[in-house]
Every structure is written in structure tokens, then in C-alpha cells.
Amino acid sequence: MVSAHRVADVRAAEDVLLRRGPDGALMARAATGLAVVVADRITRARGRLAGARVLLVVGAGNNGGDALFAGAWLARRGAAVRWLALSEHVHTDGLAALQAAGGRAADPEEPTGWAGWADVALDAVVGIGGRPGLRSEAAVTFATLAAHGVPVIAVDLPSGVDPDTGETPDLHVRAEATVTFGTHKVATLVDPAARACGEVHLVDIGLDETLPEDAEIGVWEAADVAAALRVPSAGDHKYTRGVVGVRAGSAQYPGAGVLCVAGAAVGLAGMVRYVGDDAVTAEVRRRFPEVVGAGRVQAWAVGSGGGDGARAALQAALADGVPVVVDADAVIHARDLFAPGHGHDVVLTPHAGELAVLLDADRADVEARPLHHARAAVARHEVTVLLKGARTLVVTPQGRSWVNTTGNPWLGTAGSGDVLAGLVAALAATGLPLPDAAAMGAWLHGRAAEELGGPFTAGDLPHAIREVSRALMARVGE
């Protein structure tokens, strides 16, 4: 599982290594890793490194030092390297190494000599120690580079983003790629800062042994999902494999109920039960003859397209005392049904607009600060929250948080969330803890979208989820 850590934890881990190793060893690892990534990207774009023109935009401190040493490495291998200093106090040893390798200073007053010259620029103004926003000189510099179409590679993080929240409340660098060191930061994984990072490359500098095990954010990977998927044994039958119930859809939104059932019926649970509107029931039975009616279940999916009946459906599901996935029209009822101490095992699956209504917040602010608002909902209602988006978040009352990195923009289609709600409930019915089911469901849902590529509709997702699950299970058996 990929992890992201807070700046304070990264600093503490670095301090341990700095005390153990020789002076400069940690920066040398970071700089070499940075240089290798930059060289690889240049070579793939141009065919060779020699003759490439690299501009280093450097500030004070170690972030600038990483770039200067990397620039020296590139210059020794044939790249033309110039540096543009945005501080009077750049890293002394790094600058000396670059000068010795043939690097040249750029004149800040002559942008044609750097913005009009560079093939690629490195953003090394501030690293993880920076605050949100750019100083005016940096803002003008990167605006000039953007106007000349120069791609930017950020060193550790794009300057101006908030490293610990993933927020971008002020001007910031937008990078084509980011080379981050030791561990991911919240900003490399959580939107909107993750969008500013571009393609992220993680360079190992030896922090694994010194970082805390309790990371700020986790990311499920294929191996994690494969290991957690429940594969039936010879002694299993439909009831032991898990029974999932669906209370979704209405006369107004019948398709939502059908799609939620489709997500639940991908084959991971042993049985699906549907309880709801008569017209929806008839369509469910026509499309899924294996789905049965009311009875005992191990988890419920509730609310997708539920309309005015969503509250009653949610209350009925909660009365069973099993995990409940609360989607769409049922989410708003968290306001009064999930006060502190309610004792229910629940995951809410809102999109930004639904979470904004639940929290009496502005949707734009939820989209600007998704992790903040997801955690606010968890604290207020003592439930797990799966906040859907390009980078779906899962936040739990136990303090764990995950971000999902699978998926593509084609998932922004009507009904895809209904499929996800049914899928998460099915995973919970197999015996997975509900937070794990939420994180795994988001991963499978997104991976299915990647397999489909696009364009597609929500009705295409269940088959793709089944195929992705089958491939993962085969991988475990190898």
C-alpha cells in the first residue's frame, strides 16, 4: 500500500538519517534520483539528453540544493543547464557543483534567455516547507514559462500548494511532473493539489525505516485488493459467501435501483435481495432473475434514486443492525439519524454537492478542500465517508484515510455512483470491514473504468468490475 506522510513526519525521518549518515548523503540520493527522472523524460521526448536545455528555478534552502546538484549531474552528461535564482541565498555547495559542471546563470531581466531558451524547467523554489501561494517574483517567472510553453517538473512538490492538506488556496505552480522524495505527501495524492503535480515519481531516499507506520493517507494498490478479495472455498454456499440487500430506486428514478443491484450482483457476494418500488422490482427481476426479495442480509445499499422514500428505506435498513452503504437521496438524512453515539456501521457515499448540502457548505469550497470537509462530516456524524470525485476519498472515524487513484474522467456519467454503492455493500456482505469495502470498491470501480477506456455508460461497469475481480483472483492463485 502506498502511503503519504505529513511534513513533520518527513522532517523527523530525515533528521534520523542525517544523524546516521555522512554529510550530504541524503541530498545526493535525492538529487541523483531527480536527475535520473528528468533525464529519462527528456530522452523519451527528444531521443537524447545531450543538447537538452534545462532551466533550474531555485530558491533558498535544500529544495534548491537538490535541483542544483541534479543540474550538475545533467550538465556532466551533455545537457545545457542554466539557473535562475529567486533568492540571494541559494545552496552554496549545490551552486558550486553546477558551476564546476559548466552551468550558467540566467539573467532574470532577459526572459528570452531562459523562458525562450529552455526545453524544460525545474521548480525548486520551495519544497515541503513552503506555504500556500507564490511570491510575486515566482508568480511572474512561472507565468512567463507557461506563456512560452515550457513544461515544468516540480522538485518534491509544486511551489505554492499546501503539502499537508492537498489544498491550493492561492497561486501555485502547475507541473507536468513532480519528483517527490522518500514518501508521498498529501498534496501529491489529494486534489486539487494532486492535479497540479502532474505525473508523480517517488524517489527512494531511505526513509522507510524511519517514517511512522501510521501514515496520514493510504492508497490501495492491486496487490492489496487481490489479497483482500474473498475467494469462496469448497465448503462455501450462497449464504456463507454473503447476502447483500438493496433498497434503492423509485418510480421517479427506476434506473438507479437497477444499477445499484447491478453493482451488488457482480458475483462477489453469494446472493442479492431487492426491496423497493413494485415497478423497479419487476425490472430487477427481468434483468437479474437470480435476485430475490426480502430476507436476512449481511449489508445494505440504500438511497440511490430513492426519492421521497429514501428516509424510510434507510431507517428500515438500520433496524437490521448490519453495515449500511448510504447513497444519494439518503445521505441528507445523516443530519438527524447519525448523531454522535448512534452506534451504526455506516458509510456515506456523497459527491461534492451532496456533502455540501449535508454540511451546509458551499460546493466550490468542498471541491477546494475535499479532505477537510470529508473529515468534518466524519467528526460530526461518526460515520465513514466515501467522497466521490476524480480522487475519491475514504475517511473513517478511526482516523484512517485513503485516496483512490484509479479511474478516468469517463466515470463522470449518470448512474456510476449507484453501481459503486451496490458494489461496496456487496464487499461488506462478504465480511470485509465497511471502511475496507469502501476503499476496495472505489479501487475496483475505478479500475473497471480504466479497462473500459471510454466512452461508456454506467451499465457497462458491472461486467468490467467482474472481469477486473477475476483477473485479480487469478493473480493470487499464480
Could you read off the pLDDT of 100-115 as tens digits, one per residue? 999 999 999 999 999 9
Name the helix (H) or strand (E) containing 467: helix 461-477
* 14-to-8, 11, 82, 462 alpha-carbon distances in Å: 10, 5, 29, 45
- Binding site for (6S)-NADPHX, by residue number, is 256, 305, 351, 418
Cβ atoms within 10 Å of 176's Cβ, excluding its own: 15
- Which pLDDT belongs to residue 334? 95
Q: Which three cell numbers stand for residue 281?
A: 422490482
Model confidence band, residue 383 (pLDDT cutoffs 50, 70, 90): very high
pLDDT tens, residue by residue, 326-362: 999 999 999 999 998 999 999 999 999 999 999 999 9
Those residues with Cβ within 8 angstroms of residue 474's Cβ, 6 or more apart along the chain or in another chain: none
Dihedral, CA of residue 306, residue 327, residue 442 and residue 428, to nearest 10:
-90
- Tens digits of per-residue pLDDT, 20-31? 888 889 999 999
Residues of the binding site:
256, 305, 351, 388-392, 417-418
- Give the distance, in angstroms, between the CA of residue 189 and the centroid of all CA atoms in the same chain: 5
Tell me the domains of the chain and their CATH numbers. 2-218 (3.40.50.10260), 222-477 (3.40.1190.20)
* DSSP states of 114-149: TTTT-SEEEEES--TTPPSS--HHHHHHHHHHHHTT
**What per-residue confidence (pLDDT) applies to 434?**
98
Q: Residue ranges for the binding site for AMP?
A: 388-392, 417
Q: Note the pLDDT tens digit of each residue in 131-173.
A: 899 999 999 999 999 999 999 999 999 999 999 999 999 999 9
pLDDT of 412 above 70: yes
By the 8 A CB rule, do 377 and 370 touch? no
Region 260-278: mean pLDDT is 98
Give the dihedral sign, CA 155/161/162/164: negative
pLDDT of residue 478: 59
Mean pLDDT of the chain: 96
Q: How far apart are CA 85 and CA 108, in angstroms?
A: 8
Helix (H, G, I), strand (E, B) or coil at 57: strand
When computed from its CA atoms, the radius of gyration of the chain, rounded to whole angstroms, is 25
**CB of 353 within 8 A of CB of 360?**
no
Chain CA centroid to CA 80, Å: 36
Task: Categorize the per-residue pLDDT at 477 as very low, low, confident or very high, splitting at 50, 70 and 90.
Answer: low
CA distance readout (Å), 416 to 407, 419, 425: 12, 5, 15
Q: Is 307 helix (H, G, I), strand (E, B) or coil?
A: helix
- How does pLDDT run across 2-14, given as a tens digit for each residue? 999 999 999 999 9
Whether 83 shows a pLDDT value over 80: the answer reads yes
Q: How far apart are CA 475 and CA 478, in angstroms?
A: 5
Amino acid at 147: A
Phi, psi (deg, nearest 5) at residue 203 = -100, 125
